[in-house]
Chain A
Amino acid sequence: MNAAVTGAWVCLLAPLAGALAITLAGERISRRTAGWISTLTTFVAFAGALDAFIRLWARNHGDREVLSTAYTWLAAGDFEVGFQILVDPLSTVMMLVVSGVGGLIVWYSMGYMAGDDEERRYFAYMSLFVFSMLLLVEAGNFLLLLVGWGLVGLASYLLIGFWHERAEAVAAAKKAFVVNAFGDATFALALVLLVWETGTLEYPSVFERVDGLSSTIVTLVALGLLGGAVAKSAQIPLHTWLPDAMEGPTPVSALIHAATMVTAGVYLLVRTSPVFEAAVEIQHLAAILGAVTLVAAGLIALVQWDIKRVIAYSTMSQIGYMFLAAGIGAYGYAIFHLMTHAFFKALLFMSAGVVIHHLHGEQDIRRMGGLRAVLPRTHVAFGVGTLALVGIPPLAGFWSKDGIIASALATGGVLGWSLYLAALVGALLTGMYALRLYFAVWQGPPRETEDEAHTHASGQSEGPLSMLVPVGVLTCLSTIGGLLVVPGLWKPFEHWVEESAEALVHPTVAQDYATSVVAVALGLVGVWLARRAFEHGRQLVTDPTAWRILERKLYVDELYDAVFYRPAAALAVTLRQDVEGPVVERSLDEIGAGTLHAGGELSRAQSGLLRTYAITVAFAVSVLVVVFVAVR
């Protein structure tokens, strides 16, 4: 086997082995062992990814795309599908991010979840989740991509609903799954079209043949793929599941938001960029959806009270930036922001986790405050994460976000300028909501109760080492991780990714720095607004009507509820009550009672039911006969 791909295979299979080992071992291993199996296999995956990355780097420029097929299992003429992975610059970056950040999160969960009744189940799911995401990014053809895509949805469903005794968690898991299933369906339809029209599912052959397709077909395929990406990445209008998904344990939120799942949509847009470039309107649609999402999510984040929900909306907003970048063809920056975002978002979630852990599950920021003195180290970590999110130089978020905004400027035209403005508004909003959260949690007078203060006195307030070390590592990464791209100086990261997806726009150095000045200034204005509001003890949104609209998340949930959910629920209830109930269950009860009596009773109870069945059959046959004779 080619040396470059061995590591990639190890990277893919190690988490799967972990998940299987934990599941098959059942209760024979201790909870702690399960945690270690999960953590170590994920780090083994990271080592594999690193190995693949280094070996790929050693290769010549232009020769960095290795397709490795373990097994071909279907060959019908030209149509071949195999278990194959693609190791190229794009997939190695994703492998490193997923396994690296994922490993840190799994490690962190060992401390966070300690004492939960079902740790083994938790770690089995986590490993499955990491495996699914790795399969998604390493897949060498659309079929495996769909496999990973489906498995990610499945794993997220299992993890969001992990605390299944909480009704909200179960509802949230279902919602996430249903919304994602919609995306999966459009994705699957796009694949069926692709198979049918191009006769192949391998990336290179599909991309070669895309140009030969009619524009209607390409548009439909791109639309189907975009549907899948929008659902998985929680972009408007399929975003409603993401905030609710906060019902899962905090490390799960970190995993979903930082390393896996929501980034899958961005990866898909970049990976299938030739399809989108052939259907430019759809690509622009992706950029527009991203722009709308980044502003709307930033606004909604201003009025949230739940610490995790604020961060959740900030994820939506940041993914919006990535969609925007991918939609205008700034692929390098899309993936770059994906990576830096993975660092600081995981960091934010993990430090929020420390806070929640410390406050025994309290998530409402109105009951927080003044934690700076109590959790000094976490305070630093959260602060770094916040500033990186706002995009203050030289932290990670600055380099990647400004690259995206500058690319919008470089695109020009009505579209480019609108996107540019939206992105700048987003930068202002980011400063506002991020600092509102920071001030509410860390500054001001302490609002701890006696009980909590007591816990604090016993030491151990910032959690065990397994929680602190990952937070520390991510703090460093969020600080320096952005230096891989410094406009005018060097852009190794961008060049690396662009070997897989050639960018359509290249902002000039002047555009880059001009944008930086404006964006950082706006970010600082946001910070200042948040600080002033905090000092005056008021909220950033003061108009009650606006507050209500934002609090109801722009009424999208209510809209879906009225259009889709209620009719479907009504139908299900009708089926159950009016068809299942009287026809089946009641008669079954009667029969149950009837058996206690004589056989004659039984046959009488039976007859009513059977008559219904027989009449249905007779009616259906009559319809068939009449129709057949009529249309013959």
Chain B
Amino acid sequence: MIDTPKVDWFALGPTLALLGASGVALLASVLVPAWMRKGVAAGLAFLGFALAAILGGAVFAETASPETTIAGSMVQDRLGAFAQVVVGAIGAIVVLVSWAEPRRSHRGEYYALLAAAGAGMVFFVTASNLMTLFLGLEWFSLCLYVLVAYDTHRARSLEAGLKYLIVGGFGSAILLFGSALVYGATGELGFAEIAAAGAGSDPFLVAGLAMVLGGLAFKVSAAPFHMWTPDVYQGSPSSVTSFMSAATKVAAMLVLLRVLTTAFPEEREIWTVAVAVLAAVSLVWGNLAAFAQRDVKRLLAFSSVSHAGFMLVAVAAGTEAGAEALLYYLVPYAAMSVGAFAVVAARERELGRDVSLEDLAGLGWERPLLGLSLWVFMLGFAGFPLTGGMFGKLFVFTAAYEAGDWWLVVLGVLATAVSIAYYLNVVRWLYMRTGADLGVALAGGSPPRDAALEVAVALTVLVTVGSFFAAQPILDAAADAARSLPF
């Protein structure tokens, strides 16, 4: 009889919920009659994500202090649970965004893949050794490779999938090689054990750290590891983009924070500087490149690179306040990101092609809800008050200031000032003349109202604005979650 480790089913709950939803949705997309496949699969995926969020909330409530389970391969703590709640909520909203996506075949499988990707992410954020880290990363990445290329009739989608697969494989390889070096230097896989091994400044350990950092920076699309981001965000179906831009970023950012603080506390002086440099590069590159964009999805992609920069500023602080700021930042950011891509998706479905800034003309008058929402998201991205984006930036800057990174604060404020220009450019286009005046032709007339998408957008607006007015509870939760890291 082989000794099996004790399995903590409660901690695995969110993952299992999504995995179950994915499996059943996959079965349903074969077994149930064709006309109801989409409905059943989407409903299952929605339930899976909602259940994952609820179970994540339960784990958050029940877990006072972190404990490792399943032979030290995963950790049950509030940090992971926080991420699970956020990812679950993102996924549920993305299901709503995806609902009216025009798709001729494989409608059920789409939701199965989405749930499977979500399962990978909620597993990934609880990883506590290098093996489960890599497993989780590949788990959700493989699902995303397929999802990115899901619109097989669009060359750009196929191309994006191929690109993401190859460059992503490259990134994973770097991460894996880095993990191998770390294991070679310490003989340990668990994060806490790596820290305890006290390998000091072993060249293999720091080289491994550099590569792990590079691999994860790739997933959070921090410059200069972001090159795939605009192409993939533009090429993917917009609902997939909204999922990636929010959920992948949340999961990868938290894991980056967890790995750096738990496995490499000794090397803090090195990685805080490295992360600060990555943050600075992302801020500069993301904001400047966003200026040059005409395509709205590309613009948002570069904006997401610059936001990775802001988040890394918080990571670079290397303090509990930094972790808290990052966790808070992720909530409004995720909402704004999902919402903004959802609005673009709506316009895309209306026009039947990629949306450039010019194509947004008149949206604000034709669809007041979507226009107003996109306005809110843009202001939120720019850190305007009355949206959570403002507090996010404030907390991040405060954490950086306390940690002594005043130059990052100055750069961040400058980057914010610059970013306002291109975010407002989007708003300006929204309230231009009506699309009809400019000759923006609708593909086959105005499609019927997409109630699911409008609900999704309304929810994200609610979170964006709500995280400003209800900053306190979110901040409290973030503080609780940040306490599970060893600072």
Contacts and interface: CB of A to CB of B under 8 A. Distances in A.
A joins B in a complex: yes
Interface of A: 23-27, 71, 73-76, 83, 117-118, 120-121, 143-144, 146-147, 150-151, 154, 157-158, 161, 164, 173-174, 177-178, 181-182, 184-185, 188-189, 192, 195-196, 571-572, 575-576, 579-580, 584, 588, 591-592, 595, 602, 606, 609-610, 612-614, 616-618, 620-621, 624-625, 627-629, 631-632
A23 to B, nearest CB: 6
B353 interface: no
Given A181-B417, A632-B270, A580 B292 contact: yes
A624 B409 contact: no
B268 interface: no
A575 B203 CA distance: 36
A617 B155 contact: no
Given A74-B391, A576-B292, A621-B211, A612 B385 contact: no
Interface string B271-293: 00010000000000000110110
B351 interface: no
A595 B398 contact: no
B433 A118 contact: yes
Given A121-B365, A620-B224, A185 B398 contact: no
Contact of B159 (A575, A591, A621): A591
Given A196-B398, A616-B224, A631-B270, 13 more contacts: A23-B364, A26-B366, A74-B472, A147-B384, A157-B424, A164-B428, A164-B432, A192-B397, A614-B167, A618-B170, A621-B210, A627-B210, A628-B270
A118 B162 CA distance: 45
A181 B420 contact: yes
Contact of B155 (A177, A580, A592): A592
A147 B385 contact: yes
Contacts of B424: 154, 157, 177
User: Considering the complex of A and B, which 10 residue pairs feature the smallest CB-CB distances, nearest first?
Assistant: A147-B385, A632-B201, A624-B210, A621-B214, A576-B292, A628-B210, A613-B227, A625-B210, A628-B206, A595-B155
Interface string B438-475: 00000000000000000000000000000011111001
B236 to A, nearest CB: 15
Contacts of B197: none
A189 B407 CA distance: 12
Interface string B394-438: 100110011000000110011011101100100110011100000
A629 B203 CA distance: 6
B315 interface: no
B159, B270, B397, B414: most-surrounded residue (chain A CB, <10 A)? B159
B343 to A, nearest CB: 15
Contacts, number: 165
Interface string B151-180: 000011011001100110011001000000
B162 A606 contact: yes
Given A121-B431, A192-B401, A617 B384 contact: no
Contact of A188 (B207, B386, B413): B413
B470 A632 contact: no
B288 A185 contact: no
A143 B159 CA distance: 46
Contacts of A150: 384-385
B274 A580 contact: no
Contacts of B155: 591-592, 595
A523 to B, nearest CB: 41
A157 B428 CA distance: 9
B16 to A, nearest CB: 34
A178 B270 contact: no
Nearest to B391: A74
A147 B421 contact: no
A565 to B, nearest CB: 13
B427 to A, nearest CB: 8
B274 A624 contact: yes
